[in-house]
Structure 1
Amino acid sequence: MVEVNFYDNIDEKMLKFAVIISKTNGKWVFCKHKERDTLEVPGGHRENGETILETARRELREETGAIDFIIEPICIYSVKGKTRVNENIHTETFGMLFIANIFSFEEIHSVIERIVIVDNLVDNWTYPCIQPKLIEEAKNRGFL
């Protein structure tokens, strides 16, 4: 079982991921990875030397083609349990959840096949035990 928790503060060095709930013109923006048939919220791993905000900006650009956007942090989240990233059911990994409003896009040159822009949330999640909970938390905190 996967457990998702939320925090307001943690040492930034512990943050390994950035996930960016994204909208454009009031519609949801999701990514379709080239190797999967499901949809996901943009995001990814933090690279050496990056701040978590730099990670979020880079991942948003790489995965959606966003070139003009406003991005802000929502909260810290953690995932505990066996996932594609966590090998051990006892491992807890931390990330920062962001929200972005995208005003313009360019062509994508990454592992993302395409972006999908929709009025409503999707059903075919890549991470169904994680990403809907992140969106719910953003709603609960008044960001959506």
Structure 2
Amino acid sequence: MEVNFYDIEEIEDSLLFAAVIVSKFKGKWVFCKHKDRDTWEVPGGHREENESILDTAKRELFEETGAKSFDIIPICTYSLSRYAMLFYAEIKEFDEMPDSEIERIEFFSEIPSNLTYPLLHLELVNKVINTLAYNNGCS
């Protein structure tokens, strides 16, 4: 599996298929558990027709975590077989989770080992960590 990363403006918006949101709440990573799986995953999902990719990210973050109040920033575009936008969110407050395919969320100090897509999720989390560190003047 090879994940390719691109600058935000490098890939045309109309080609973005999905949004994935690496997120934290009070310093802990937020992961979702799908009802049909025993593994953890990063919130995210497919873009709906006539929806901006930012609106996709906000909707998916709410639908999959119940996040009510948050700051969200785009990190980059990435691809496996299709293009998606990677975001980072600092969640401030949760509401009740809507009825969806997500069973529950949990907060982790470390990235959980039993990930639904282990190689992809680790690449995405590391990209967020490195981008945030670089933008904060850290090396």
CA distance in 2, matches of 1:96, 1:23: 18
CA distance in 2, matches of 1:35, 1:128: 17
Aligned equivalent of 2:137: none
Q: Aligned letter for 1:6?
A: F
RMSD over aligned Cα atoms: 1.2
Aligned equivalent of 2:109: 119
3-state SS, counterpart of residue 132 of structure 1: helix
Aligned equivalent of 2:69: 68
Q: CA deviation at 1:143?
A: 5.1
Aligned equivalent of 2:91: 102
Q: How many residues align?
A: 131
TM (norm. structure 2) is 0.91
CA distance in 1, matches of 2:5, 2:25: 25
Q: Aligned letter for 1:70?
A: D
CA distance in 2, matches of 1:105, 1:52: 22
Q: 1:69-109 CA deviation, whole Å, 9 max, x = no partner?
A: 11010000101xxxxxxxxxxxx200000000011111112
3-state SS, counterpart of residue 141 of structure 1: helix
Aligned-pair identity in percent equals 54
Q: Aligned letter for 2:113?
A: D
Q: 1:93-142 CA deviation, whole Å, 9 max, x = no partner?
A: 00000000011111112110000111111100101121100111112222
Aligned equivalent of 1:140: 130
3-state SS, counterpart of residue 57 of structure 2: helix
Mark the CA change 1:74 to 1:93 in structure 2 (over 3 Å): closer, same or farther: same
Mark the CA change 1:116 to 1:139 in structure 2 (over 3 Å): closer, same or farther: same
Whether the 8 Å contact between 1:74 and 1:143 is mirrored in structure 2 is: no
TM (norm. structure 1) is 0.88
The unaligned stretches of length 5 or more in structure 1 are: 80-91
Write out the 4+ residue segments of structure 1 that deviate beyond 6 Å after TM superposition.
none
Whether the 8 Å contact between 1:72 and 1:99 is mirrored in structure 2 is: yes
